[in-house]
A and B are shown apart, each in its own frame.
Chain A
Amino acid sequence: DTGVSQDPRHKITKRGQNVTFRCDPISEHNRLYWYRQTLGQGPEFLTYFQNEAQLEKSRLLSDRFSAERPKGSFSTLEIQRTEQGDSAMYLCASSLDTGSGELFFGEGSRLTVL
């Protein structure tokens, strides 16, 4: 399977714990996005990378959120000191930076904070 993969698919944690999600994009895609989706809402932009450079981060994100994309390949999204409001589906998508810009999504990582 050469699509976008995310791990873990589901994560249940206690408030105050740290969690990390991983995304493996399609190999030739130089753009990688993280989105968050809560019930009844559309995906909300968190951050995006062009190769290894993080070019934009949503002002909605607190300092508890950090993302990396070392060597421009896979990416990790870490949430420190989780809160119940962090419970959501975290979606990763990749694309080329030319042409249509079509996003290819992973199946998401669902986080539940107790």
Chain B
Amino acid sequence: ILNVEQSPQSLHVQEGDSTNFTCSFPSSNFYALHWYRWETAKSPEALFVMTLNGDEKKKGRISATLNTKEGYSYLYIKGSQPEDSATYLCAFCEYNFNKFYFGSGTKLNVKP
């Protein structure tokens, strides 16, 4: 079982604050790194799929970077809004592309 770690476990911020989370994964046999957002009572939804070292992706106020050589990815949220409150999961996929290993997630709570 591969170890995928996320930090922090939880985060409480005020509306308008910017924040970032970390996902650490094995630096060998890399195939892909995914970020998912999981809102309460809904299904997890993909935010980003990243495959290349140095990838930077952006969707609105949310962006992510990838460093496959050192085995980490950052997720940034600029100007957090209450609707950003969710659990953010990262998932690592090995070279053989058969299954994803998830971190335990970062639970974000944005207070109005």
Residues of A whose CB lies within 8 Å of any CB of B are 3-4, 33, 35, 40-45, 48, 55-56, 60, 91, 97, 100-108
The one of A35, A55, A107 in contact with B42, judged by C-beta atoms closer than 8 angstroms, is A107
The one of A41, A42, A48, A107 in contact with B43, judged by C-beta atoms closer than 8 angstroms, is A107
The one of A33, A41, A91 in contact with B99, judged by C-beta atoms closer than 8 angstroms, is A33
User: Chain B nearest CB: distance from A49 CB in Å?
Assistant: 11
Query: Are A102 and B49 in contact, CB atoms less than 8 angstroms apart?
Result: yes
A-B Cβ contacts below 8 A, count: 59
Whether B100 sits at the interface, judged by CB under 8 Å, is yes
C-alpha spacing A41/B1, complex, angstroms: 14
Bits for B11-54, please: 1 = Cβ < 8 Å to A, else 0: 00000000000000000000010101000011111100101000
C-alpha spacing A27/B34, complex, angstroms: 22
C-alpha spacing A29/B55, complex, angstroms: 26
Query: Are B34 and A35 in contact, CB atoms less than 8 angstroms apart?
Result: no
